[in-house]
Amino acid sequence: MNTTKYAGVWPVMLTPFTRQKEIDWTSLERLIDWYLAAGVHGLFADCQSSEMFFLSDEESRRLVRFIIERVDGRVPVVASGHTANAFHHQSEQLTQMAETGVDGVILISNRLALAGESDELALETLQRLIADVPENVDLGIYECPFPYKRLLSDEIVAWCAQSNRFTFIKDTCCSLPIIERRLALTQGSRLHLANANSQTLLPSLQAGCQAYSGVMANFHPELYVWLYENWRQEPEKAQRLADYLSTAALVENLDYPVCAKAFQQQIGNFSTLTCRVRDSQHYDDTFFPEAIDSMVRLGRDLQKQLHIGA
Domains of the chain are 8-305 (3.20.20.70)
pLDDT on residue 153: 98
A 10 A CB-CB count for 142 gives 27
Distance, in Å, from the CA atom of 103 to the CA atom of 251, rounded to the nearest integer, reads 31
Q: What is the mean pLDDT of the chain?
A: 96
Residue 229 host element (H or E): helix 221-230
Residues 6+ apart with CB under 8 A from 114: none
Distance, in Å, from the CA atom of 179 to the CA atom of 173, rounded to the nearest integer, reads 8
Angle between helices 288-305 and 258-266 (to 10 degrees): 60
Distance, in Å, from the CA atom of 10 to the CA atom of 41, rounded to the nearest integer, reads 6
Distance between terminal CA atoms of the chain? 34
Share of the chain above pLDDT 70, in %: 99
The amino acid at 86: A
pLDDT in tens, 103-136: 999 999 999 999 999 999 999 999 999 998 999 9
Distance, in Å, from the CA atom of 43 to the CA atom of 104, rounded to the nearest integer, reads 10
* 78-89-96 Cα angle (round to 5): 40
Write down the pTM of the prediction: 0.97
Put the strands of the sheet holding 104-108 in their side by side order: 8-9, 211-212, 192-195, 166-171, 138-142, 104-108, 77-79, 43-45
